[in-house]
Chain A
Amino acid sequence: MERIDKTVAVPTTTTSATGGDEDEVDLIPVRTYWMLVRQRFLQHRLAVIALFLMAGLIALAVIVPTLTGDAYTKTSLSKSLLPPSLSAPLGTNQIGQDMFLRLAKGLQTSLFIGFMAVAIIGAIGVTLGAIAGYYGGWIDNLIMRFVDIVLSLPIFFVILIIVSVLGKGSAFVVIIAIGLTGWTLACRLVRAEFLKLREADFVQAARALGATNRRIIARHILPAALAPVVVAATLGIADSVVAEAALSFLGFGISPPDASLGNLLKNFDEDLQVRPHLLVPPAVTIVLVVLAASFLGDGLRDALDPRQRVESK
């Protein structure tokens, strides 16, 4: 069993999988799949920058709100609309709230929603896609027709409705709404990989050794099928953050005194004319999150690319 697993995770180690040619392994430096992935990823300059950018954004979102607690909700009329200063680097809004603290907290909320929504998308998409691709037949048909229906829904409106029906202003509801509507791409990707792999030699071998379907799906095919899902999930973070921001921007998502990147832009019709500087930091931050996630996704796609994996075999 272990050996079969290894050929999946380490397809690049020359011929060691057959177990006989130990000499050859000594001649050619052994580079595992993950070593190659890391190497290819590091060659992608923008992806490396994006990785640092994302790490920086996450650090900001975690550290500042943890240190300052709920100071981001504190209002003070005497501190209304202060220009940027040392104590409040981004100034304050009409009701004297520190915009830097609100930005950090908003980033935290938005990233949290983005990551959680992607987790739900991944869980639903991978489960349904694996079942559809592995078993095929009527169950595949059923799942794929369901995918067709969800794909035909005007997704953004459906998210709006779910959020307004289940309760505006709750991060939990926003996560559910984005998660329940966004899993179709992941499902299709996983299904395609499972269709391709379910008759592969290593799967046949596992089956011959008496592995149960559940074990074959979870331990043998899934690790080999995850690469496109990881890429899709990274790109999905950007989509989910934008979806949350759009919801909150329209007044359906997170509402004050809570902060999210979208609701910091909510008063745009007034702010744009009188105090446009308040809108710049949240807008720039959203764009940075999207750029970081998409370059990270591009880099991962190149690094995990199965075609390159075949070439180096």
Chain B
Amino acid sequence: MATYVLRRLIQAIPILIGISVISFLIINLAPGDPTDRFRSGRVSPETIQNLIRLYGLDKPLPEQFVSWFTAFWQFPFRADAWGYSFVDGRPVVEKIFEKIPTTLELMGTSLIVTMVVSIPLGVLAAVKQYSPADKIITGLATIGYALPSFVLGLLLLYIFAIKLNLFPLFGRQSLGQEGNFPDYLRHLFLPVLSLAIQQIAGWSRYMRSSMLEVLQQDYVRTAKAKGLPASKVVYKHALRNALLPVITLLGLTLPSLLAGAAITESIFSWPGLGLLAVQSVTTNDFPVILAIVMIGGMLVLLGNLVADVLYGLVDPRIKY
């Protein structure tokens, strides 16, 4: 197992380098440079020259890449490893790490809600295939899947925040309510619901087809034939195996959650990584954008690795 994880980590290195090169190149496609915003006349040419030298923008591109890349991996040890924000001059490491917990709250809660809701729904739809319950679940799943996150977000805001006035419109805390836990939960509710509904739609469909497949297996028929109660067959024999492929889904969900978070956080003004990403792209804050793309890439790779390792842990048939 340890050697397997090690091998996967080593395999991830060239991919990480590839991600770095591509994101670095895309950012540098931009005409002009980030100091353009200062060229309004109020900033002297000398200051601009100093800025260019400070950020290393006068060096050739490959050299800029190498110095950025080698510094990047020192982030656990150096506060300035990811450079400084072009917007407020704060270290990028600090700017990003203060947002990570906020985003994890949102993504983690949505993931838990997704699993708690979609697995029973998928099992129910599969066990009672073609029943009205199955039709309602698959129908709702199809609609939920077709609702883009921003349409869903707007719909939830309109119903729950404006019409029913049950939940706040935006933010993570009301003014002057810092540390008030119920207030914080009320803020968390709509963004989580909006992120989770789409995931639930996908997960329950996946769970349903996985369960249907397992229910056709010989050993399930054997279990039924020897007279076990239906509930025992479903929950002990079938469900355990039907859950295996869902673990893979866990790894694949992380990147889509991150992309969904960018939109959901923007709609609900949830001060996380996604909102920071959108704001940084708006203000051409290249060091912050680069770091976020790298984190996103690492998250994708990590998600895949975690899924594969988990799969091996729960399925004794899999050997590394």
Contacts and interface: CB of A to CB of B under 8 A. Distances in A.
Contact of A157 (B18, B147, B154, B262): B262
23 contacts: A145-B18, A148-B18, A149-B19, A149-B22, A152-B19, A152-B300, A153-B22, A156-B262, A157-B289, A158-B22, A158-B23, A160-B278, A161-B293, A162-B26, A165-B27, A165-B29, A249-B263, A250-B262, A251-B282, A265-B154, A272-B154, A273-B162, A291-B142
Contacts of A252: 281
Interface residues of A, number: 40
B30 A165 contact: yes
Interface in B242-267: 255, 258-259, 262-263, 266-267
Interface of B: 14-15, 18-19, 22-23, 26-27, 29-30, 142-143, 145-151, 154-155, 157-158, 162, 255, 258-259, 262-263, 266-267, 277-278, 281-282, 284, 289, 292-293, 296-297, 299-301
A12 interface: no
A57 B200 CA distance: 29
A276 B149 CA distance: 18
A71 interface: no
B316 to A, nearest CB: 29
9 interchain residue pairs of minimum CB distance: A154-B296, A149-B18, A156-B259, A165-B30, A290-B146, A152-B300, A242-B148, A283-B151, A291-B146
B35 to A, nearest CB: 16
A165 B259 contact: no
Interface of A: 145-146, 148-158, 160-162, 164-166, 238, 242, 245-246, 249-252, 262, 265, 268, 272-273, 276, 279, 283, 286-287, 290-291, 294
Contacts, number: 120
A48 to B, nearest CB: 16
A16 B111 CA distance: 55
Contact of A290 (B23, B148, B262, B278): B148
Given A161-B281, A268-B154, A287-B147, A154 B22 contact: no
Contacts of A251: 282
B150 A287 contact: no
Instruction: Give the dominant DSSP class at B's interface.
Output: helix
Given A161-B289, A250-B263, A272-B154, A154 B284 contact: no
Instruction: Give the dominant DSSP class at A's interface.
Output: helix
A190 to B, nearest CB: 21
A251 B23 CA distance: 21
A161 B15 CA distance: 20
Given A157-B296, A164-B281, A148 B150 contact: no
B282 A145 contact: no
B151 A157 contact: no
A6 B145 CA distance: 39
Contacts of A250: 262-263, 266, 278
B29 A166 contact: yes
Contact of A276 (B14, B18, B158): B158
A158 B26 contact: yes
Nearest to B292: A157
A262 B292 CA distance: 24
Contacts of B259: 154-157
A290 B151 CA distance: 12
A155 B149 CA distance: 16
Contacts of A162: 26, 29
B157 A272 contact: yes
Given A154-B296, A250-B263, A161 B27 contact: yes
Contacts of B281: 157, 160-161, 164, 252
A124 to B, nearest CB: 15
A272 B267 CA distance: 11
B162 A158 contact: no
A150 B158 CA distance: 37
Contacts of B26: 158, 161-162, 165
A294 B146 contact: yes
Contacts of A151: 300
B150 A158 contact: no
A246 B263 contact: yes
A154 B256 CA distance: 9
A2 to B, nearest CB: 42
Most buried by A among B23, B143, B149, B158: B158
B148 A279 contact: no
B219 to A, nearest CB: 25
Most buried by A among B19, B27, B151, B281: B151
